[in-house]
Amino acid sequence: MKNIVTYCIIIFFALSSCEDFLTQELKGEFSSDTFYQNDIQAIQAVNGVYDAISFNSFDNAIWIFGDIASEDAVKGGNPGDQAEITYIDEFSANASNGIISNYWTFTYEAIARANNVIANVPTTAMDETLRSRIIGEAKFLRAYSYFNLVNVFGKVPLKLLPQTTQEAINVPLSEVNAIYLQIEQDLSDAASVLPVSYTITDIGRVTKGAALAMLGKVKLYQQLWSDAITYFQQMEALGIYRLLPNYADNFKLANENSSESVFEIQHLSNQNPFTGSALNQWFAPAAEGGYYFNAPTQSLVDAFEKGITEEVDPRLDASIGRDGQPWLNGDIFSETWSPTGYLTKKHQQPLSEISSSLKGDGDLNYTYLRYADVLLMKAEAFNEMAIVDSALNNLNKVRQRALASFDGIPPADLLLEITTTNQNQLRTAIQKERRVELAQEFHHYFDLMRWGKAVAEAALGPVFNFDTKRYMPIPQKEIDANQAINP
């Protein structure tokens, strides 16, 4: 069962009404003074926060930062189309870049909606357990939004109140460590009240496991290895997460919200208001009504292992369309479909599910965090603590699933078990495994940044200076509007 939020708009005092994840109609606008009257309206409000982090518009540009800013992809598309993406790819974007500015606005809209829920639902007349859950959902989504902001921009304004006063609107930049502290607090609060799972009508809402996994990820990004492991182990102790037998199944409509999915952003096509995913169109070839952006590079393709007989890691063809190999619709992929010769397969649906005329209204969810990612983060943390056996165990679980994903008998010389006990060699192996396992899932640039100056500059080349180019510039319109920011 797929569940998706309906469209909400929150602008200071105005809030559009949003109902249960799929079924109920928009019913107008309400003042915040009169809106938060019952549990139905509280659910509508938190549904609006989910909608605000979806991929139903081009403004959610996390894929540009996560993939194109890395060495894994280039802009793609027609040369003049969305040219501002190229400046991000080349690390020459300035504060007037429209992509950066729109993403800032997009993410702070989600934060504003979450702040409204957190401020108003405590006084709403409703069941106490439901109230706590709704506030927990909003805090998780606020933490997720700030986590993205702090990794794209570094210092940002930490806005935690409804935007109803000048003091709430004009907030200075906070230090990165202060932002992380707030993220951790929100996630801890969420983990204490969110359920382990939901009934079928609410599948897709954030869970206790998602909050624990995000806490582990936040600790990992701060190199707090032991803390990260603790949270990951608490998530695993819930006993509901496991790898799917076949890697490619993670990216198919039939397997949404699976046992491997920890946090998944929901979409549904053919809805009014619009709740579909635009990723389907941004990444598809022109012949299918797509714009063929986020084109994978040869460097990424070469990162996948090949055997002596030219057999290749099955994750390559599950992730990337390449010349002469089957495409999503039973066609054979042509290198002429992309300026690099490759297109991402993930986040796309076959024409039997979404026709070319409706390509921008996809209903395939985006999985931000899956169990394979958690296993690799655990492997990394264990290795940094010099607990090699545990690092190898988690790393090889991911590789063994990849090996099991072969259609037929796997070759004997491919995806062999990693056995090195050398910490540096194992670190390199884990980093490579993350790159191919999570290819085109919008994480690689952020991995490079947290791995540090040497790794990032080696991967991104002379155009990138870690000390001056790690973070995107704060949008000029925010500097102009926010009186508390000192440019």
Distance of CA 343 to the CA centre of its chain: 19
CA distance 315 to 247: 7
Whole-angstrom Cα distance, residue 24 to residue 416?
A: 51
Q: CB-based burial of residue 142 (10 Å sphere; 0-12 exposed, 13-18 middle, 19+ buried)?
A: buried
Burial status of residue 284 (CB atoms within 10 A of its CB: 0-12, 13-18, 19 or more): buried
Residue 52 and residue 59: Cα distance in Å, rounded?
10
CATH class, range 10-277+442-481 = mainly alpha
Q: Where are the domains of the chain?
A: 10-277+442-481, 285-356
Produce one character per residue of 422-450: b if its CB has 16 or more CB atoms within 10 Å, e if not: eeeebbebbbebbbbbbbbbbbbbbbbbe
Amino acid identity, residue 435?
A: R
Rounded Cα distance, 203 and 205, in Å: 6
- Among residues 181, 450, 156, 437, the alpha carbon closest in space to that of 315 is found at 437
pTM comes to 0.94
Q: Report residue 97 as tokens.
A: 């870049």
Give 398-421 pLDDT, tens digit per residue.
Answer: 999 999 999 988 999 999 999 999
Count, residues in the chain:
487
Sole residue written with tokens 């997009």 = 106
Residue reference for tokens 């020459």: 92
Bridge partners, residue 264, by sequence: 367
Tens-digit pLDDT profile for residues 91-126: 999 999 999 999 999 999 999 999 999 999 999 999
pLDDT in tens, 419-463: 999 999 999 999 999 999 999 999 999 999 999 999 999 999 999
Dihedral sign from CA coordinates of 264, 435, 68, 356? negative
Q: CB burial class (10 A; 0-12, 13-18, 19+) of residue 307? A: middle
Residue by residue, DSSP assigns 13-32 as TEEE---STTTPPP--EEEH
Asked if 120 contacts 32 with a C-beta cutoff of 8 angstroms, the reply is yes
The pLDDT score that the predictor gives to residue 13 is 28
User: Which amino acid, residue 251?
Assistant: F
Residue with the two structure tokens 């624990």: 212
What is the per-residue pLDDT for 234?
98
Check residue 487 and give its pLDDT: 52
> Which tokens hold the place of 440?
């085109």
CA neighbor of 238 nearest in space, from 213, 257, 206? 213
**Mean pLDDT for the chain overall:** 93
pLDDT at res. 124: 95
Q: What is the pLDDT of residue 256?
A: 97
**Helix, coil or strand: residue 89:** helix
Tens of pLDDT along the chain (487 residues) come to 354 343 333 322 233 333 334 334 434 455 566 789 999 999 999 999 999 999 998 899 999 999 999 999 999 999 999 999 999 999 999 999 999 999 999 999 999 999 999 999 999 999 999 999 999 999 999 999 999 999 999 999 999 999 999 999 999 999 999 999 999 999 999 999 999 999 999 999 999 999 999 999 999 999 999 999 999 999 999 999 999 999 999 999 999 999 999 999 999 999 988 999 999 999 999 999 999 999 999 999 999 999 998 899 999 999 999 999 999 998 999 999 999 999 999 999 999 999 999 999 999 999 999 999 999 999 999 999 999 999 999 999 999 999 999 998 899 999 999 999 999 999 999 999 999 999 999 999 999 999 999 999 999 999 999 999 999 999 999 999 999 997 5
- Give the 3-state secondary structure percentages of the chain, helix then strand then coil, rounded to 5: 50, 10, 40
State which amino acid sits at residue 166. Answer: Q
